Amino acid sequence: MGKEFDVERVRKDFPILSRKVNGKRLVYLDSAASSEKPASMINAVNEFYKRSYANIHRGLHTLSGEATELYEHARKNIASFINADPKETIFVRNATEGINLVARSFVAPGLKKGDVVLLTEMEHHSNIVPWQMLAKGKGAVIKYVPFNDEGFLDLKKAEALLKEKPKFFSFVHVSNVLGTINPAKELVTLAHKYHVPVLVDACQSVPHMKIDIKDLDADFLVFSGHKMLGPSGIGILYGKRKFLEKMPPFLGGGDMIKEVSFKEVSWNDLPWKFEAGTPNIEGAIGLAAAVDYLQNLGIENIEKHIKEITTYALKKLSKVKGIKIYGPKTAEKRGAVIAFNLGDIHSHDLTSVVDEDGIAIRSGHHCAQPLIEKLGLASAARMSFYVYTTKEEIDLFIQSLEKTRKIFKL
């Protein structure tokens, strides 16, 4: 903190931002799907391969010791980023795997026919499909907390549904389509009031805002490394120790066992019980380097920068003729995404046209088909921001949107 946040200096740390796309400077407005990577993260992975690469744990040689040290140091580093205990910080492939793990190892064993799993209407497929798969096998029921016209969850309805004692409540902290920042702490408290365990999908929040898991008190929390400057294929599942200890492992294999005989097996301690097989070692090291980078920038500075960009983009975008913006009207309760449609232009066509100008945005259903359907849409375009996004890029995008309007004779 206290350090000035200079976006132009930040941009210099991202090698990809200097490349051209279709002859134009790259304007990357798709960070909610996956962020770009700083040189320090790339170098950390590179250095590991060049200097210390070996398999971790159990190895008695020098390189294996170094690799284990780096891997476990990465865990500590990432754990402290969200104020978690490293023993409660499990490396997974991504948030999706984390949710599947909780669904299978925590919720499934006690789930009976007619039991309810509570979600919200603004979940990503990753927080719907694992529960649907589970419910189908068990004859359980999925209920959804609805959201209103402005994209806010109906908290009264949430409480009414929690009062019915669902077996589990899983919700997204920041919607990847509406951008809504849900009152996570309030929802967790509400769930606990009715003794309902709760998982927070923090994919779109951990990269952008201070998350203190002790303060939030969620029983489980998941996020993906690739959306926060880290490599793909690495993510975190945080779980409260008291739950993790009682849960059976998710996958079986090497590294997650203590002793194996032909007849029996005993599980390894936390967190390794849930990390079967050789893990994504370089991914963990890369994610830790990304966390270092973010901490160096200062998470408060990042939050402030993104609010500024989102406010600016909302203002500029709302002036485009024929635009329809979804979700909260102000940046105050909105994360770094803005989904919209322009006239009758399909979002894929819009994305194609702006791509010609070197601008990367996302289109389609954003892996949230039920939400898109509730909004009565076929699809939506989405721009999203991160530490390297500038106001100038927003202006370039708006120019390109105006060009798109002309092409489509709107």
Partner 1 sequence: MNAAEMYQEIILDHYRNPRNFGIVKNANLSFRDSNPSCGDIIEITLLTDRVGIIKEIKFSGKGCAISQASTSMLTEYLKGKNIKEVKTLKKEEILEMLSIELSPIRLKCALLGLKVIKMAAYNHLGEKLENENDYT
List active site positions: 367
99 Cβ neighbours under 8 A, 6+ residues apart:
126, 127, 130, 170, 199, 201, 222
| Residue 162, both tokens | 């929690």
Task: Give dist(CA 122, CA 11) in Å, integer.
Answer: 32
Task: Give dist(CA 361, CA 45) in Å, integer.
Answer: 27
Task: Give dist(CA 116, CA 161) in Å, integer.
Answer: 10
Rounded least distance, CB 336 to partner 1, Å: 23
What is 193-241 written as a DSSP string? Answer: HTT--EEEE-TTTTTTS---HHHH--SEEEEEGGGGTS-TT-EEEEE-H
The residue (of 2 and 376) whose beta carbon lies closer to partner 1 is: 376
Contact between 115 and partner 1 by CB under 8 A: the answer reads no
Rounded least distance, CB 355 to partner 1, Å: 9
User: What ranges in 229-298 are assigned the alpha helix state H?
Assistant: 241-246, 281-297
Task: Give dist(CA 315, CA 309) in Å, integer.
Answer: 10
CB atoms within 10 A of CB 371: 27
* DSSP H/E element including 340: strand 337-342
Rounded least distance, CB 363 to partner 1, Å: 7
Look up residue 17 and give its DSSP letter: G
Rounded least distance, CB 349 to partner 1, Å: 5
Residues from 328 through 387 that contact partner 1 (CB under 8 A):
344-349, 352-353, 356, 363-365, 369, 372, 378-379
Q: Are 288 and 44 in contact (CB under 8 A)?
A: yes
Contact between 404 and partner 1 by CB under 8 A: the answer reads yes
Contact between 407 and partner 1 by CB under 8 A: the answer reads yes
The residue (of 56 and 371) whose beta carbon lies closer to partner 1 is: 371
Contact between 160 and partner 1 by CB under 8 A: the answer reads no
Rounded least distance, CB 175 to partner 1, Å: 18
CB atoms within 10 A of CB 287: 32
Rounded least distance, CB 357 to partner 1, Å: 9
CA pseudo-torsion sign 94, 95, 96, 102? positive
Q: Are 408 and 343 in contact (CB under 8 A)?
A: yes
The residue (of 307 and 382) whose beta carbon lies closer to partner 1 is: 382
Chain-centre distance for alpha carbon 366: 13
Rounded least distance, CB 377 to partner 1, Å: 9
Residue 169, CB half-sphere, CA atoms under 13 Å: how many?
A: 27
The residue (of 289 and 350) whose beta carbon lies closer to partner 1 is: 350
Looking at the DSSP bridge assignments, the partners of residue 147 are 153
Rounded least distance, CB 356 to partner 1, Å: 5
The residue (of 25 and 87) whose beta carbon lies closer to partner 1 is: 25
Q: How many residues bind partner 1 (CB under 8 A)?
A: 21
Contact between 409 and partner 1 by CB under 8 A: the answer reads yes
Contact between 157 and partner 1 by CB under 8 A: the answer reads no
Q: Are 178 and 147 in contact (CB under 8 A)?
A: yes
What residue has token string 């929802």? Answer: 187
Q: Going residue by residue from 84 to 113, which x/- string records binding to partner 1, judged by CB under 8 A?
A: ------------------------------
Contact between 399 and partner 1 by CB under 8 A: the answer reads no
The residue (of 284 and 353) whose beta carbon lies closer to partner 1 is: 353
Contact residues toward partner 1 (CB under 8 A) are: 344-349, 352-353, 356, 363-365, 369, 372, 378-379, 403-404, 407-409
